[in-house]
Amino acid sequence: MTRVVNVPSHFDARSFEQFAKACGDMTDDRLLFDAHATQWASPFGLVGLLAAGQWAAEHGPERPLLTVPGDRDVAHYWGRAGFFAHAADWYELHGKVPRVTPATSSDVLLAITPVRGTDDVHGVVESVQERSAAILSGELGLEATATMGFAMALSEACQNIVEHAGTSGWVAVQAYHWRRRLGRRVVVIAVADAGIGFRRSLEATQASRFGDRWSDATALEAALFQGASRFRDPGRGQGLGGIARYLNRWSGKLAVRSGAARISIVPSWDDDQPLTEGLTPFPGSQVLMIVPAQEAQ
């Protein structure tokens, strides 16, 4: 039996919960991810869709299906963002896949890129630095040193996949003008995997500290605020805290979703909840980082 999962027409971090709910348990039926009517997808939506595809392909009865967006411009954008190049690994694609190369437009700072190991992290950091420097300092008004912090945050987020997910993942970086929500330019980093998630990663070293309270939410809190790590090495577990410090300094946003919980560092311009529990479980971890243009003093 095939079950249809509708991809939201405007697929981003806000509509991700609608998507996760539609995915539900991805192990019983063959899934058809229907993106035919999708009008727009953020990098967070696209890497999340890849994670869903991987999970369904690896744990479901058959390789899932995906209908390509019907709107030619939308499909071309997904192609330029590098989505189809990776989607073909996990989905049986239906519809017209545009023949475009993943690209290097001024806004796509990093097309969707797989993160499988240390070499990929080096590659991501190398390729994003020069392109992001012009946007971060030129267009967003950040100090020149912020470019290095941005690359550090990107590096640590990618390493979380390599070190903790137990599988590969994806990263994408893009610049936008958020006219309606913020009225400013932003740079967005989206990272996703379909791995074991924070709770399972930290369980062996942290669960006993929390007893009955151990959950996806407490695992996220421990990782973000207490620097908890699955390794007993005291030097471990600093990456996520470092990302949070960087984003705090530049009034940015950090949101980490894992399992059935999502934790956020919420800047003044956003209305997200700091912690949300009881979400529909979704495999792996998904990280969203947003750096906004600085307000004129």
Partner 1 sequence: MQLIDLKAILQHTVSSAYGDLVTRPTGKAVRDGIEAALDDLDTEPVTVIDFSTVRLLDYSCADEIVGKLLLEQGGARVFLLQGVTASHCEAIEPVLRRHKLAAIARDREGRVRMLGAVPEDARKALSALTDRVQPGSPADNDALVLPEGTAKELLQLLRFSGPRDPDPADRHSAGAAE
Binding site for partner 1 (CB under 8 A): 118, 121-122, 125-126, 129, 145, 148-149, 151-152, 155-156, 159, 162-163, 227, 234-236, 238-239, 241-242, 245
If one counts every other C-beta atom within 10 angstroms of the C-beta of residue 297, the result is: 4
Q: Select 39 or 129, whichever has its Cβ closest to partner 1.
A: 129
Instruction: Give the whole-angstrom CA distance, residue 250 versus residue 255.
Output: 15
Q: Select 94 or 245, whichever has its Cβ closest to partner 1.
A: 245
Task: State in angstroms the smallest separation of the CB of 16 from partner 1.
Answer: 27
Query: Which of 109, 102, 90 has its CA nearest to residue 50?
Result: 90
Decide: 244 and 224 in contact? Cβ < 8 Å.
Answer: yes
**Cα→Cα distances 97→71, 92, 102, Å:** 11, 11, 13
Q: Select 28 or 119, whichever has its Cβ closest to partner 1.
A: 119
Q: Select 137 or 159, whichever has its Cβ closest to partner 1.
A: 159
Task: State in angstroms the smallest separation of the CB of 125 from partner 1.
Answer: 5
If you write DSSP's letter for every residue of 138-168 in order, what string do you get? IIS---THHHHHHHHHHHHHHHHIIIIISS-
Q: Select 244 or 260, whichever has its Cβ closest to partner 1.
A: 244
Phi, psi of 296 (to 5 degrees): -60, 135
Task: State in angstroms the smallest separation of the CB of 244 from partner 1.
Answer: 11
What are the residues facing 175 on neighbouring strands?
Answer: 187
Task: State in angstroms the smallest separation of the CB of 238 from partner 1.
Answer: 5
Task: State in angstroms the smallest separation of the CB of 162 from partner 1.
Answer: 8
If you write DSSP's letter for every residue of 161-192 in order, what string do you get? IIIIISS-EEEEEEEEEETTTTSEEEEEEEEE
Q: Select 74 or 254, whichever has its Cβ closest to partner 1.
A: 254
Residue in this structure with the two tokens 């919420």, named with its chain if needed: 266
Task: State in angstroms the smallest separation of the CB of 154 from partner 1.
Answer: 9
Task: State in angstroms the smallest separation of the CB of 112 from partner 1.
Answer: 20
Q: Select 2 or 118, whichever has its Cβ closest to partner 1.
A: 118
| Residues ≥6 apart with Cβ < 8 Å to 98 | 72, 75, 76, 78, 79, 84
